[in-house]
Structure 1
Amino acid sequence: MNLKWMTGFILALCVQLVQGLSVHFKIPKPIYVALGRELVLDASIEKTTEEKIFMVTWERISDKGARRLATYPGKTQDPKISMEREGSTLRIAGVQESDFGRYTITVTNQNGIQTSDEKDVGKHEKPPEASVVLLCDVSREEAQWDSPVFTWLVDGVELTNQTANMSDGGSKLHLQGMKGNNYTCISNSSLGTSVSHFIIPDSTEGPDGCPSCPIRTVIVSLVIVLAVIGLFLFLRRNRLLSYTPPRGRNNNNLSS
């Protein structure tokens, strides 16, 4: 009995190796998604021309246990879950706490041979911080044996890794949290030294360093002018409505 089982297992394994059915996620590492966002799990299914995909299933294992989410061909019971590309792509709209866990895609061919892959999906707590970057690009028309060394100055003061956020060998300077107007990049290599300047004007700032002060001043001034004009028109209208000509003058005009 054991020999028969082993023979069948070896034959099935050989058939699988010959047919080459496989599935794997395009992003090998665990992925993270925030609550309320959309989750997309994209897998790649490889097979030979003779093979046919009989079924694709998606399952999730979380703290609440295991659950089958979708089966292709077929329809999903949850309206926020959908499949694309013959079941190889799973979409979940409006991610909730229960959507975090380990996802498994299982592919079955016409011979009943299965292959699967897993993907961990975690919760992302804090949105990523956006940053504006200054790039010091150096043209390299001729070959050189070394790489350029970059130095950044802000208002004449040299930056270091402790005082600024630089990446890509110092060629990129991230401006998040930076204060200054005159940015200078110095590139030094065996081909020579080049200097580039970038100036950020502060014309939008007020005398006290408030970026929105000029706009705020214009708006307040405009509101005051409109208020004065409105008050003037209101008083003039009330004066005209309450005005009555003198009776004596009218009587004299009639008698004459």
Structure 2
Amino acid sequence: MNDSCAFKPRMNLKWMTGFILALCVQLVQGLSVHFKIPKPIYVALGRDLVLDASIEKNVEENIFMVTWECSSDKGARRLATFPGKTQDPKISMEREGTTLRIAGVQESDFGRYTITVTNQDGIQTSDEKDVRKHEKPSEATVVLLCDVSRDEAQWDSPVLTWLADGVELTNQTANMSDGGSKLHLQGMKGHNYTCISNSSLGTSVAQFIIPDSTESPDGCRSCAIPTVIVSLVIVLAVIGIFLLLRRNRLLRYTPPSDRNNSISQ
């Protein structure tokens, strides 16, 4: 009897604890906030930083306040509160506080950002994101796309092969992505690019030729047109000097009487 009586309070306490935890989870589960990009975000000095968050809530819930904070080695600081105004003119909020924008990022702006959302009942939820400094600007590149029609069903995927001036390209000699369908031309020196597609549907070949008619002997296409203009100016200057010297020579050997007659006429 004693054991059974001692067992019931334990079960009741365990049941009550589980019920309270479940109730808390149910209350909080209706409100959540998360960043649209879960990975750390990189930004260079002097550029603009934009952090986007998304809030999920029940229909009957109202957002009472949205706050943004940044933590770094120098400590934590509050950046903005919605509704409200920011103290720093370079910081602004959009979309009812779920988007934070910082213009002209400085060293002090790198760190861990936290967005905290509070509803009308005082329940809070938050999410964090690391903002790191990007040291080197990303290089722009031109990409050739080899697109194969998939209108008809087939059992295999096309195998793509790229040629540059007749020489086959590999991952060691060229920058290819998306299974070889994209060829990045950064650092490439070819003029005739060929994409060959092999599959159960057959073989298809596509070519892309970079015109080199305006290329100068040293390989500088942009220098070709200015070089032509400079050459034309030099030729015209030489012709002008030649005509001027010829005129002076004729005047030098013309008798004075003939010069006077020519002037009077």
TM-score past 0.5 threshold: yes
Q: Find 1:74's aligned residue among 57, 81, 84.
A: 84
Query: Is there any run of 5+ residues in structure 2 with no aligned partner, and where?
Result: 1-12, 248-259, 261-265
Instruction: Give the corresponding residue for 1:117.
Output: 127
Q: Does 1:25 align with 2:62?
A: no
Q: Which amino acid aligns with 1:13?
A: C
1:61 aligns with 2:61: no
- Give me the whole-angstrom Cα distance separating, in 2, the residues matched to 1:91 and 1:71: 13
- Paired residues of 1:61 and 1:101 also in contact (CA < 8 A): yes
- For 1:166 and 1:131, the matched residues in 2 are separated by 12
Aligned to 1:253: none
Residues 154 and 11 (structure 1), Cα distance of their counterparts in 2 relative to 1, 3 Å cut: closer
Q: Does 1:181 align with 2:191?
A: yes
- Does residue 16 of structure 1 match 2:27? yes
In the alignment, what sits opposite 1:204? 214
Contact 2:115 2:128 (8 Å CA) reproduced: yes
Unaligned 5+ runs, structure 1: 237-248, 250-256
Q: Is the 8 A contact 1:60 1:68 kept in 2?
A: yes
The one-character-per-residue Cα deviations of 1:20-53 (angstroms, maximum 9, x if unpaired) are: 0111111111100011111011111111121111
Structure 1 length as normaliser, TM-score?
0.81
Structure 2 counterpart SS, 1:45: strand
Partner of 1:99: 109
Matched residue, 2:59: 49
Inter-CA distance 140–10: structure 2 relative to 1 (3 Å threshold): closer
Mapped to 2, the partners of 1:230 and 1:73 lie a distance apart of: 76
For the 8 Å contact 1:12–1:113, the answer to whether it is kept is no
SS of the residue corresponding to residue 193 of structure 2 reads: strand
User: Residue 57 and residue 211 in structure 1: after superposition, are their counterparts in 2 closer, same or farther (change >3 A)?
Assistant: same
- The residue aligned with 2:6 is none
User: Residue 57 and residue 179 in structure 1: after superposition, are their counterparts in 2 closer, same or farther (change >3 A)?
Assistant: same
Alignment equivalent of 2:151, drawn from 141, 146, 160: 141
**Alignment correspondent of 2:257:** none
- The letter of the residue matching 2:27 is Q
Match of 1:129 in 2: 139
Per-residue deviation, 1:174: 1.1
Q: Could you state the TM-score of these two structures normalised by the residue count of structure 2?
A: 0.79
Q: What residue in structure 1 maps to residue 173 of structure 2?
A: 163
Query: How far is the alpha carbon of 1:162 from its aligned partner?
Result: 1.1
Per-residue CA shift, 1:124-167, capped at 9, x if unaligned? 01111111111111112210000011111111111111111111
Partner-residue secondary structure (3-state), 2:155: coil
Does the CA contact (< 8 Å) of 1:106 and 1:117 recur in 2? yes
For 1:207 and 1:15, the matched residues in 2 are separated by 74
Q: Name the residue aligned to 1:240.
A: none
Report the Cα offset of residue 17 of structure 1. Answer: 3.6
CA RMSD of aligned residues (A): 3.1
Aligned residues: 234
Q: Is the 8 A contact 2:92 2:100 kept in 1?
A: yes
What amino acid sits opposite 1:162 in the alignment? Q
2:205 matched to 1:195?
A: yes
CA distance in 2, matches of 1:148, 1:14: 50
| Structure 1 CA distance for aligned equivalents of residues 195 and 122 of structure 2 | 63
